Amino acid sequence: MKYKILGKTGIEVSELCLGTMSFGGQADKKESAKIFKQCREAGINFFDCANVYEKGESETILGKLIQGNRNDLVITSKAYFPTSNDVNARGGTRKHIMTAINESLNRLNTDYIDIYFLHRFDDLTPIEETLRVLEDLVKSGKVLYLGASNFAAWQIAKAVGISEKNCWNRFECIQPMYNLVKRQAEVEIFPMAVSENIGVINYSPTGGGLLSGKYAGIKRPKIGRLIENKMYEARYNDSKMFDVAEKFATLSKKLGYSPISLAIAWAKSHPAVTAPIIGGRNTEQLKDSIDSLKIEMTSELREKISNISIDPPPATDRNEENTEHNYGQR
């Protein structure tokens, strides 16, 4: 296992991060313990969680598993989404975040969280209000570093600018979606992260299982995240994405790699990415994810895989900027 510096933090994290969304759901306590052990044996020291995963049960299970080696690990959690039917139990408000952090600390059985993410941009709360309470969490010692998940590049840049203006702790890590069929992050989010030296841990490197190979061909599985979960179904319900998945599965077979391993290796190879977030409902599924470390992702191989999907247009929407027909090129 190799380790990378996370943004400006100086912290070294494993080049794979385990997402614990399945803990307490698809993976029961016993299976979650096996998955955790498998990751630790592979050298993974980076574990991602959130307060809404399985209504807090994921945090509770992770909290029990990290006892005895807490200080050797980098643990994340998140706040934003509703935690109850109360109208104020959501968002980026001081009231919600102060409640959410204490509940997460209790479930995780720890007195600090290494990286605390805002799970989504709050359109109703001034960003200054959110950043001020996040600064208070760092000053109190409950949080070491701050992060943003599912933010647009301009939202991250605005937040970082406000934090630096006020001498507050800024976002040091971001968590965007990124995989072979979801490449929008390449346009503005990744360049911004590289420019500002912000760590990136991308989620869904296998497209919610779309790139696992089981959705290729005429015969489709009857169970799986894209079938059982309406959110994932809506996210990937595009025939073009399934066409890419089919071509990717064919290429993976030709190269002799598991599609899961190859998909994660491809996502990990982007220069902006610190560590992709992997996951699974059992140790067998997770093995292919960890085996992605065995693949040498050369620039030629990355380009060959990238050519299967469509490059996202530049931020200006001027496709000619990537050709010789760009009269403004310097």
Q: Are strands 17-19 and 12-14 parallel, antiparallel or unpaired?
A: unpaired
Percent pLDDT > 70 in the chain is 96
Residue 136, class by beta-carbon neighbours within 10 Å (0-12 exposed, 13-18 middle, 19+ buried)?
A: middle
CB neighbour list of residue 118: distance below 8 Å, 6 or more residues apart: 78, 79, 80, 92, 130, 134, 146, 147, 148, 149, 151
What's the average model confidence in pLDDT over 155-167?
A: 98
Residue 294, pLDDT > 80, answer yes
The dihedral formed by the CA atoms of 241, 246, 247 and 251, expressed in degrees to the nearest 10:
130
Amino acid (one-letter) located at 278:
I
- Which domains occur in the chain, in start order? 3-175 (3.20.20.100)
112 is catalytic: no
Per-residue tokens: 53: 């995963």
What 3-state class would DSSP assign to 307? coil
- What's the predicted TM-score (pTM) here? 0.95
What's the average model confidence in pLDDT over 137-142?
A: 98
Q: Are 153 and 189 in contact (CB under 8 A)?
A: yes
Amino acid (one-letter) located at 15:
E
Spatial distance between the Cα atoms of 179 and 266, rounded to a whole number of angstroms = 8
Q: Are 44 and 302 in contact (CB under 8 A)?
A: no
pLDDT at residue number 100: 98
pLDDT at residue number 133: 98
What's the average model confidence in pLDDT over 55-75?
A: 97
H helices present in the chain, as ranges: 29-42, 57-65, 94-108, 127-140, 153-165, 189-196, 225-228, 230-236, 239-255, 259-268, 283-290, 299-306
pLDDT at residue number 35: 98
- State pLDDT tens for residues 27-41: 999 999 999 999 999
Percent pLDDT > 90 in the chain is 86
pLDDT at residue number 94: 98
pLDDT at residue number 216: 77
Annotated active-site residue in 3, 53, 112, 232? 53
Tell me the C-alpha to C-alpha distance, in Å, between residue 163 and each of 57, 113, 128: 33, 20, 8
- CA–centroid distance for 195 within its chain: 19
What 3-state class would DSSP assign to 199? strand
- Residue 318 — pLDDT band, cuts 50, 70, 90? confident
What's the average model confidence in pLDDT over 318-324?
A: 79
Q: Are 75 and 110 in contact (CB under 8 A)?
A: yes
Determine how many CB atoms are found less than 10 A away from the CB of residue 269.
19
Q: Are 248 and 263 in contact (CB under 8 A)?
A: yes
pLDDT at residue number 324: 78
- 296 phi and psi, to 5 degrees? -85, 105
Residue 13, pLDDT > 80, answer yes
Tell me the C-alpha to C-alpha distance, in Å, between residue 64 and each of 37, 57, 104, 159: 13, 11, 13, 34
Per-residue tokens: 321: 């900027």
- State pLDDT tens for residues 204-237: 999 999 999 988 765 566 667 777 788 888 899 8
Determine how many CB atoms are found less than 10 A away from the CB of residue 37.
12
- State pLDDT tens for residues 97-116: 999 999 999 999 999 999 99
Residue 329, pLDDT > 80, answer no
